[in-house]
């Protein structure tokens, strides 16, 4: 186990997220100025739909695929099979989601999504579907992702500056991102097959069924996590005003930026935890790993979030160009959501590394129920503040349940096997 490797991967992925954070610093105030707060709320809504449907398409393959690759003793022998089978399985899901979305937006239903918006949503989902970032997580070469992500974001930013000129151009904010993501993901796929001398191996139905089977226990956590994190704009769209949705969309960008940093740490360290699990490492090995890697991270993470909460008005007014007391108050509350997410990383990783998928599945299903009940009730009564309260309640329950599952199914096994 190499601490240097973990840090290299974390900083590479953090670089991805820093770029992801810097781009909205320019794009969001520019978008607000041109399209207005209510149309920006519409953008946030469509991004939320893309996020959730992408998680349906991914199904659990990013974790199961990265785990398979991390467990491979010979990297070359099995890579072609894993990459080909998972990519094709994801495309099958993309087609199924496309058919469902077309049916769900037929004129016989309420006109909640236009044909153009549907096309933009599907383009965004396609870009995420063919993105093979999970492959680089498995082989622990995250710097390649960082490089191409930086290029795509710079191109996206330039395109936004020159092409978004009027409120009617709000769909370009999402459409351009999806188009660029499709092109960059295609380049990365081509590089993977060339660099690692992979060949496309057309899978049998049994091969696809096998990938579905091993990823199935991760599907509920994947879609549950996506709904818990990404469905908030949809809930607000149903039960609140466009103005309130736009205000929430601004502060949510800050929360998501910090959540992405926590996600980068999780992705960078997870393959190492899988290797420890495959080598039957002792409890001491895990304690040393998390003490050396996780503890410094969570201290720095907490310090940054505390600073944001103190300078909430400056963040909203200076960075996003919005002088709005309601948004200021929202930021103080929502910024603690990613901290709760970061707190559960060790328990989350241990349950996944030891393939305790049944417990993991039940935890996310229960948490999803908690979110849906609290989110709908609190949003109806307290609008965006209620949505944020539901997010905090949900993440607190999720963290507590993950550590309870970790204690019962992992920690006790270590103690009994000493």
How far apart CA 319 and CA 36 sit, in angstroms, is 16
Question: What local confidence, expressed as pLDDT, does residue 340 receive?
Answer: 94
| SS3 per-residue string spanning the chain | CCHHHHHHHHHHHHHHHHHHHHHHHHHHHHHHHHHHHHHHHHHHHHHHHHHHHHHHHHCCHHHHHHHHHHHCCCHHHHHHHHHHHHHHHHHHHHHHHHHHHHHHCCCCCCCCCCHHHHHHHHHHHHHHHCCCHHHHHHHCCHHHHHHHHHHHHHHHHHHHHHHCCCHHHHHHHHHHHHHHHHHHHHHHHHHHHHHCCCCCCCCCHHHHHHHHHHHHHHHHHHHHHHHHHHCHHHHHHHHCCHHHHHHHHHHHHHHHHHHHHHHHHHHHHHHHHHHHHHCCCCHHHHHHHHHHHHHHHHHHHHHHHHHHHHCHHHHHHHHCCCCCHHHHHHHHHHCCHHHHHHHCHHHHHHHHHCCCHHHHHHHHHHHHHHHHHHHHHHHHHHHHHHHHHHHHHHHHHHHHHHHHHHHHHHHHHHHHCC
* Token pair for 14: 């953090």
Question: What local confidence, expressed as pLDDT, does residue 416 receive?
Answer: 55
416 domain-assigned: no
* Token pair for 107: 């004129």
| Inter-axis angle of helices 115-129 and 3-58, nearest 10 | 140
414 domain-assigned: no
In degrees and rounded to multiples of 5, residue 209 shows phi and psi of -60, -35
How far apart CA 68 and CA 60 sit, in angstroms, is 12
415 domain-assigned: no
378 domain-assigned: yes
pTM for this model (two decimals): 0.76
Q: What is the DSSP string of 101-141?
A: HHHHTSTTS---S-HHHHHHHHHHHHHHHS--HHHHHHHT-
Domain coverage including residue 282: 3-409
Instruction: Find the angle CA(384)-CA(389)-CA(393) to the nearest 5 degrees.
Output: 150
Under 8 Å between Cβ of 398 and 363: yes
Closest to 344 measured CA to CA, from 259, 281, 418: 259
115 domain-assigned: yes
Question: What local confidence, expressed as pLDDT, does residue 69 receive?
Answer: 78
* Consecutive 10-residue averages of pLDDT for the chain (418 residues): 56 59 70 83 88 86 78 65 86 90 70 82 91 76 71 86 87 91 89 81 83 80 80 83 81 84 82 77 82 92 94 83 85 94 92 77 88 90 91 94 84 57
Residues 6+ away with beta carbon under 8 Å from 32: 40, 246, 250, 320, 321, 322
Query: Number of folded domains in the chain?
Result: 1
Question: What local confidence, expressed as pLDDT, does residue 6 receive?
Answer: 58
39 domain-assigned: yes
417 domain-assigned: no
Question: What local confidence, expressed as pLDDT, does residue 195 receive?
Answer: 81
Question: What local confidence, expressed as pLDDT, does residue 110 receive?
Answer: 56
């Amino acid at each position: 186990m190499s601490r240097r490797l973990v840090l290299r991967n974390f900083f590479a992925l953090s670089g991805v997220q820093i770029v992801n954070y810097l781009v909205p610093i320019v794009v969001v105030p520019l978008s607000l100025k041109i399209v207005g707060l209510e149309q920006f709320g519409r953008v946030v809504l469509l991004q939320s739909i893309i996020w959730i449907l992408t998680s349906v398409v991914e199904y659990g393959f990013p974790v199961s695929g990265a785990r398979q690759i991390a467990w491979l003793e010979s990297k070359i022998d099995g890579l072609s099979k894993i990459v080909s089978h998972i990519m094709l399985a994801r495309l099958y899901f993309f087609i199924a989601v496309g058919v469902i979305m077309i049916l769900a937006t037929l004129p016989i239903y309420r006109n909640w999504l236009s044909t153009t918006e549907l096309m933009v949503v599907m383009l965004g989902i396609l870009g995420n579907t063919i993105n093979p970032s999970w492959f680089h997580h498995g082989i622990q070469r995250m710097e390649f992702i960082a490089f191409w992500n930086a290029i795509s974001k710079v191109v996206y930013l330039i395109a936004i500056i020159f092409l978004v000129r009027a409120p009617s151009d709000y769909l370009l904010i999402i459409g351009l991102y999806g188009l660029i993501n499709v092109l960059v993901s295609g380049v990365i796929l081509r590089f993977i097959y060339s660099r690692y001398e992979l060949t496309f191996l057309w899978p049998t139905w049994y091969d696809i069924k096998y990938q579905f089977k091993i990823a199935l226990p991760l599907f509920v956590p994947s879609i549950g996590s996506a709904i818990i994190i990404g469905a908030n704009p949809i809930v607000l769209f149903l039960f609140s005003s466009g103005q309130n949705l736009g205000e929430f969309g601004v502060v949510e960008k800050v929360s998501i930026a910090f959540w992405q940093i926590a996600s980068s740490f999780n992705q960078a360290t997870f393959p190492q935890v899988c290797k420890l699990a495959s080598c039957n490492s002792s409890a001491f090995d895990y304690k040393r790993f998390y003490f050396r890697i996780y503890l410094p991270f969570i201290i720095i993470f907490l310090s940054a979030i505390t600073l944001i909460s103190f300078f909430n008005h400056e963040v909203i007014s200076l960075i996003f160009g919005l002088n709005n007391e309601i948004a200021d108050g929202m930021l103080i509350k929502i910024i603690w959501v990613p901290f709760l997410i970061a707190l559960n990383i060790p328990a989350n990783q241990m349950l996944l590394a030891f393939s305790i998928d049944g417990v993991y599945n039940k935890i996310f299903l229960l948490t999803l129920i908690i979110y849906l009940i609290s989110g709908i009730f609190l949003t109806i009564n307290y609008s965006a503040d209620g949505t944020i309260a539901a997010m905090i309640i949900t993440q607190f329950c999720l963290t507590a349940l993950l550590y309870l599952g970790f204690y019962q199914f992992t920690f006790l096994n270590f103690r009994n096997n000493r």
